Structures are given as C-alpha cells and as structure tokens.
C-alpha cells in the first residue's frame, strides 16, 4: 500500500482539474491529479469549442496559450438565424473589443496535459476505485488503485474536478447539498465533418423543425449540431439523414448553407441545467461540472470550470502563502454568483432557440418576437454580446498569482 501526503488532491483530469493543477504549480503548491480514464480518451473526447475572452486571457497568463495562439480562431461576431435570414451580432463592437475563440476542448486538454507533464508533478491516468473520505477532518483522504498498487494519500484539501458523473459530489453526506435542476425535453445530435466551414462565424438557428448550430474546429473541419428528442439513439440517424435534416434547418433564403463532407464523429448529448450548492463540504471543494451543468447553447460549461478554479487557486494561494482561510470560506459564494448568471443566460439561449415538443403556438410566436427584438435592438444585442464573450472575472488574475 502506497501511503503519503500531498497538499492538494485533485480528482479528474478534465479542464477543471488540469487548470487547477497548473495554477497551483505556478504558485509552488503541490498537487496530485487522479483520472480514471486513459490519456487518449481524455484528449480525444469531443466536446466544447468556444472559449470566452477571459478564458483565453487566463490560458495566456498561465503560459499555456501557445497552441491557442497558433490554431485558435478568434471570432468577433456571431449570427442568429430565423425565418430564413441570418442576423450578425457584432460581439467585439458591442463589448469594447472582446471576442470569443474557437479552439477545441480536446486541444485545451492536450496543451494542459503537456504542461503538467513538463512540471513532473504527478498525474495518474487509468486510476481505479477512486474514493474520497474524512472530508470534514483536517486531513481528507484520497484512495485509488494505480499500476497494480493501492494508494492512500492524505491531503490538506481535495478538489472534486471529476465532472457530473464523478464520485466527489456523491461523497458529501446527504442533506448538505441543495440541488437545483431542470431537464430539457430535447438533446443535441452533434457531428464533426471534413468540410471547410462555409461561414467564418457561428450560426445559431431557430427553425420550425427545431434548433441547429453551425460551428467549426479548423479551416478544414466543421462542427454542427441539431435538436433531437431526448435519448435519441444515434443509430437512428444515417449520415444521409443527418445531412438532409441539417440542410433543411440551416439553409437561409440567400442560399447560405454548410458545406457537406464526410462525417468523422457523431454523438447525442442530453441537456440539463443543474446546480449543487454549496460547492464545498469541509475540505472538499467542487469545481466545474461536478458542481454544475449548463445546457450547451450558451457555450458556458468549460468557461465556468475555468472561473471556478481561478477562485479556488486564489483561495489556496492565500492559505499556503499567508495562512488566510477567508477566501476558502467564500469560495462557494463567489463561484455561485457567476454560475447562476451563466445558468440564467444558458437557460435563456436554450429556451429562445429550441422548439419545445409541448410548446404552444403562442410560445413559437413569442420566441420569434424575442429573436426579432434581439437582432434589431442595440441594447438586446449588447446584453447578449457581453454575456457571450463572458462577464468580467470576479477575482483578479493577480490574486491567483498571475500577472494580469
Ligand atoms: P469534465 O470535462 O467532465 O472532466 C471531469 C474529469 O473527471 C473527466 O476526465 C472524467 O473522466 C474524470 N472522472 C470522472 N469520474 C472520475 C473518478 N471516479 N475518478 C477520477 N476521475 C474521474 N462548454 C463550453 O464552455 N463551451 C462549449 O462550446 C461547450 N460545448 C459543449 C458541447 C458538448 C457536446 C458537451 C457535452 C459539452 C459542452 N460544453 C461546452 C461543456 C464542457 O465540455 C464542460 O463543461 C467541461 O468539460 C467541464 O469540465 P470539467 O473539468 O469540470 O469536467
Ligand atoms: C460549440 C458548442 C456549443 O455548445 C456552442 O454553444 C457553440 C459552439 C462548438 O462545439 O463549437
């Protein structure tokens, strides 16, 4: 049995866990990251693509922005399409020059794994039977099997960065957390296609047949989604049927449509809004999807994971460098203010752009009016723009040990 001590035990090597590990490293704080999947699985998992301005700035300030700098696609606007017409929202013009960057989550994760490996601090993939205990003691314990050995690691703190289906949130005793949840009556079918993007910017479409989204990963790869019933088996959709539906929903009156290419990946993602509060129990801190889920329409999930760990890194730095614990105490409250604003935005984007199966004709007309208002009112466009590029950070980079 391998027994030892570490300052911070991190469960999960997704964006939250890897970002936290690197922020702690930059502050001279030691951590152990334990991940139950393989390195390849974690890197290849196709997910988010939109980074807020603040997330881009954070990655740059952490010194892990080279790949992003080279291959990230900066977008200063986006399109909203309904009744067959596309309307551009000038994100940069409405926010004093802020933008989003399209850069695959798998690239972000690859860059962070490379950075972690270069530090030589521990990152264990394919760990089994991961568990946490003694969370309300002064020395919580992280246990796992790895490389044929049992490990029992005593930590000062544990960060639960293990996503929605992880083990950390369920390790919190019953009655501590309040859960807020909304499940939507649809899912997203998403594809990656070997086709040059036919628009330089994203297109969010509201169509009589339901929501569709045009995005991209590179000058050669298009990323597309459309709304399907919840739990829709992916086998129900041949590649040909996917293209027929995609083009039906996305083609606009001026003839714009996505380029068709070979489909190289396809999957169905359920949609939910979820918050578990507080994001802390004893010496366990939850960050990212382990504490909250947003429906993907607002492109906020990865960005919230980044803002959570910035707040956590600031608190742990203050503890290790000055013995101060008040930022640890405030962690959940500071995160949740931002989380709820992102929840509200994601819910609004989702409710405005999707067809609800039980929706009334009234709702359909109201949604069209909402989109008409959005695309003709500077105030409404500004509101969308400032939320889409990301609301200002609640804590400074400097307080987390970075140069702004
Ligand atoms: P995760 O990425 O889920 O990482 C958790 C890690 O913990 C995983 O590697 C998992 O394998 C590991 N783990 C789980 N259980 C254990 C265990 N028992 N022991 C050890 N390790 C464990 N967000 C955006 O910001 N913009 C977007 O455009 C966007 N689009 C999306 C599109 C899709 C189709 C999907 C599915 C999501 C999208 N998101 C988007 C959301 C975003 O992907 C997530 O919010 C983000 O991955 C959260 O990061 P995380 O590190 O908190 O969790
Ligand atoms: C992408 C995903 C989203 O959820 C979104 O709102 C915008 C873009 C993407 O994968 O590119």
Q: For residue 398, what is the DSSP state?
A: G
106-162 per-position pLDDT tens digit: 999 999 999 999 999 999 999 999 999 999 999 999 999 999 999 999 999 999 999
Q: Which residues contact 392 (CB under 8 A, 6 or more apart)?
A: 54
CA 80 and chain centroid, separation? 21
294, pLDDT greater than 90: yes
CA 251 and chain centroid, separation? 28
Q: For residue 289, what is the DSSP state?
A: G
Distance between Cα 326 and ligand 1 center (Å) = 29
Q: pLDDT value at position 403?
A: 82
Q: Which residues contact 309 (CB under 8 A, 6 or more apart)?
A: 16, 19, 20, 23, 159, 161, 287, 288
Q: pLDDT value at position 3?
A: 60
β-strands 100-102, 73-75 pairing: antiparallel
The rounded radius of gyration (Å) of the Cα atoms in the chain is 21
Prediction pTM value: 0.97
Q: pLDDT value at position 404?
A: 65
- Listing DSSP states for 222-241 in one string gives EEEEEEE-TT--GGG--HHH
Contact at 8 Å (CB) between 242 and 266? yes
Q: Using alpha carbons, list the distances in angstroms from residue 351 to 225, 270, 277, 360.
A: 16, 15, 24, 13
Ligand nearest to the CA of 217: 2
Q: Is 101 in the pocket of ligand 2 (CB under 6 A)?
A: no
Instruction: Please name the residue whose Cα sits nearest to atom 7 of ligand 2.
Output: 299
Tokens of 166: 């992880």
- Listing DSSP states for 171-223 in one string gives GSPTTS-EEEEEEEEEEEEEEEEES--SSSS-EEEEETTEEEEEEEEETTEEE
Tokens of 207: 């169509």
Instruction: Please name the residue whose Cα sits nearest to atom 3 of ligand 2.
Output: 299
1, pLDDT greater than 60: no
Q: pLDDT value at position 193?
A: 98
Tokens of 62: 């952490």
Question: Residue 320 in 3-state DSSP?
Answer: helix
- How many angstroms separate the CA atoms of 154 and 31, rounded? 11
Q: Which residues contact 226 (CB under 8 A, 6 or more apart)?
A: 188, 189, 210, 211, 212, 213, 245, 246, 249
Q: Is 162 in the pocket of ligand 1 (CB under 6 A)?
A: yes
Ligand 2: atom nearest CA of 48 is: 10
Q: pLDDT value at position 129?
A: 98
Q: Is 298 in the pocket of ligand 1 (CB under 6 A)?
A: no
369-385 average pLDDT score: 98
Whether residue 180 lies in the annotated active site: no
**Banded pLDDT at 46 (limits 50, 70, 90):** confident
């Amino acid at each position: 049995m391998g027994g030892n001590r570490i300052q911070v035990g991190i469960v999960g090597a997704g964006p939250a866990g890897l970002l936290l590990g690197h922020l702690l490293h930059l502050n001279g704080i030691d951590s152990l990251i334990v991940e139950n999947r393989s390195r390849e699985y974690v890197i290849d998992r196709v997910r988010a693509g939109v980074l807020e301005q603040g997330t881009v700035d954070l990655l740059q300030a952490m010194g892990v922005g080279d790949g992003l700098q080279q291959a990230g696609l900066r977008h200063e606007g986006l399109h909203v399409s309904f009744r067959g017409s596309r309307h551009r929202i000038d994100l940069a013009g409405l926010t004093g020059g802020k933008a989003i960057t399209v850069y695959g989550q798998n690239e972000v994760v690859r860059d962070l794994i490379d950075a972690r490996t270069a530090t030589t601090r521990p990152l264990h993939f394919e760990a089994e039977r991961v568990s946490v205990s003694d969370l309300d003691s002064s020395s919580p314990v992280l246990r796992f099997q790895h490389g044929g050995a049992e490990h029992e690691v005593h930590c000062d703190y544990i960060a639960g960065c293990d996503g929605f289906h992880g083990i950390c949130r369920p390790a919190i005793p019953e009655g501590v957390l309040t859960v807020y949840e909304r499940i939507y009556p649809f899912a997203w079918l998403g594809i990656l296609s070997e086709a040059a993007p036919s628009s330089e910017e994203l297109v969010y479409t509201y169509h009589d047949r339901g929501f569709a989204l045009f995005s991209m990963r590179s000058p050669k790869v298009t990323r597309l989604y459309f709304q399907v019933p919840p739990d829709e088996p992916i086998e129900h959709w041949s590649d040909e049927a996917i293209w027929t539906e995609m083009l039906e929903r996305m083609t606009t009156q001026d003839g714009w449509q996505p380029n068709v290419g070979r489909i190289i990946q396809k999957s169905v993602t359920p949609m939910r809004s979820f918050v578990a509060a507080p994001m802390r129990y004893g010496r366990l801190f939850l960050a990212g999807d382990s504490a909250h889920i947003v429906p993907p329409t607002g492109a906020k999930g990865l960005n919230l994971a980044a803002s959570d760990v910035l707040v956590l890194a600031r608190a742990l730095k203050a503890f290790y460098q000055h013995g101060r614990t008040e930022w640890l105490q405030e962690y959940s409250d500071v995160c949740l203010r931002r989380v709820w604003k992102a929840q509200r935005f994601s819910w609004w984007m989702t409710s405005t752009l999707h067809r609800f199966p039980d929706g009334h004709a009234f709702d359909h007309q109201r949604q069209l009016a909402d989109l008409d208002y959005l695309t003709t009112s500077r105030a409404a466009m500004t509101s969308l723009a400032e939320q889409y590029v990301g609301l200002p950070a609640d804590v400074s980079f400097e307080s987390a040990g970075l140069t702004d």
